Structures are given as C-alpha cells and as structure tokens.
Amino acid sequence: MARVPPQLIETLRQSREVTVLTGSGISAESGIPTFRDAQTGIWAEFRPEDLATPEAFASNPRRVWDWYAWRREMVSEAQPSPGHGALARMARTLSGFNLITQNVDGLHQRAGSKDVIEYHGNIMRDKCSVEDVVVERPAPGDEVPPRCPACGGMLRPDVVWFGEAIPAAALESAQLAAERCDVFLSIGTSSLVYPAAGLMEIALRNGATLVEINPAQTPVTKLAEFALTGTAGAILPQLSAALLEPE
C-alpha cells in the first residue's frame, strides 16, 4: 500500500478548493458489486442492454424493476466503508470541498458527506418514466412496477441508464467543480467512462494538481502528480488523519 507523501498533505492544506471524483472501487469495499459483477445467479444470462436501458424498460419493465429491487436490497444492507467516512471528515477539514460520485448507492451521504453531486443518480429514489420527476413510491401493491401517483405512468429507478444523458444539474455542477479546483482526486474509478472521465481533463487544463488513488493503473496514472496505489479504504483514512495533525 502506498504511503501518503508529505508533499500531498501540504498541497491539500494550501489548496483553495478540492474536487473529488469517486467510482465503483470505493463502494466495492462496502460489498456492493460493480454493475457487471452483479450480473450473477439468475441475472447472469442477461446483458447490460437487457437490464439498464430505456429500451429494456419499455420491452420488459417488470424484469428491469425486479433487477433494481434486488440491487436496492444489497445497497440497503451495505455500510459505508472507511474511505467513505474519511472523505466526509476531509470535507470538514479543507476550506473548499466538492464531492462527485459515479455511484448510485448513497453511501457517501450515509457516511456524513453533504451536497454530493450524484452524477448517475441514486438507486434508492424513484422517478416517473413519463414526467421525469422524482416521486414518492406509493404503498406496496400488486402492480410491478408501481405507478406514478400523479399521472399513472410507470415508476423507474432514478439512475442514468446506458444511452441516457447525465442530468443537466449534475453535469453543470461537476464541470464547474472541475474547472475551479486546484486539486482533483480521482478515487476508485477506471477513468474510462465518459463524460465522467473528462472531468479530470477539465481540471488539468485549468492547472489543477491531479491525484489518483486506485489499486491498479488507469489511463490517468501517468498524468497524476500523485498516484497512490491501494484501496480508498486503506489510503483515505491516512490522508484524513494527516490533515488533522498539527503543521
């Protein structure tokens, strides 16, 4: 496991604004499988296109709803990892802090993080498939998926499916956070999926120091001024603790 360089601690202490992007790696430490890793058991025969696209929902809404109900159960039983907790503490320590996550599990909020930019939505919320607005799920009934109380349209998870655009508010907030930060941390993400991967490019163009925390090398590793090899749960608590030490 990589040790946290003192130069990184000093860079963070001197920063005006820090932006963090987290990916599936940090939630894997809480026992939540990545999307493709979750295609096991009765779901192993299905492709992502069968379970997480608007076309899949239109073709077989019950199958899609049941797949997400199974994943929601896993999420509800999971607990935030040490990495989630460390980021919440760092937000209270640093002067300016923005947290963007590609994960849909809400574990950052459960660990105490505030104002999280949910780039891909949140699996624990529902929205109307017709009106595209978040709604409260009605009391359990026989109909699957349940219906929107306002218009009667089918409810769906409030997540970004393959082929869908990132919600405009999240996209704008994330891009602004990448533009104005002077330190950008990429944590537990493959750096392959756009447009999220483009946030690091925005930060670099605007002169930010790039930090990567990941067990394996990614396309970003060679661009990072600090590339720490290891898991978020091992490295972020070190980082958080060092920031609290007297200078």
Rounded-to-integer distance, Cα 151 and Cα 174, Å: 32
In one-letter notation, the amino acid at residue 39 is: Q
Q: What pTM does this model have?
A: 0.93
Query: Using the 8-state DSSP alphabet, how is residue 222 labeled?
Result: G
Give the pLDDT of the chain (247 residues) as one tens digit per residue.
Answer: 567 889 999 999 999 999 999 999 999 999 987 766 655 554 566 777 788 999 999 999 999 999 999 999 999 999 999 999 999 999 999 989 999 999 999 999 999 999 999 999 999 999 999 999 999 887 777 789 999 999 999 999 999 999 999 999 999 999 999 999 999 999 999 877 788 889 999 999 999 999 999 999 988 899 999 999 999 999 999 999 999 876 6
The answer to whether position 152 is within a domain reads no
100: exposed, middle or buried (Cβ count in 10 Å: 0-12, 13-18, 19+): buried
Residue 51 is assigned to a structural domain of this protein: no
Q: Residue 14 falls within a domain, yes or no?
A: yes
How far apart, in whole angstroms, are the C-alpha atoms of residue 170 and residue 22? 14
Residue 109 domain boundaries: 1-31+80-120+166-247
Residue 72 lies in a domain: no
As for how many domains the chain has, the answer is 1
Tokens of 48: 């992502």
* Whether 84 is catalytic: no
**Alpha helices, DSSP H only, in 160-246?**
168-180, 198-205, 232-244
User: From the candidates 108, 120, 127, 156, which is the catalytic residue?
Assistant: 120
The helix or strand, by DSSP H or E, that contains position 79, with its residue range, turns out to be none
Residues 226, 232, 234, 235: is their CA dihedral positive or negative? positive
Q: Classify residue 159: in a domain, yes or no.
A: no
CATH number at residue 196: 3.40.50.1220
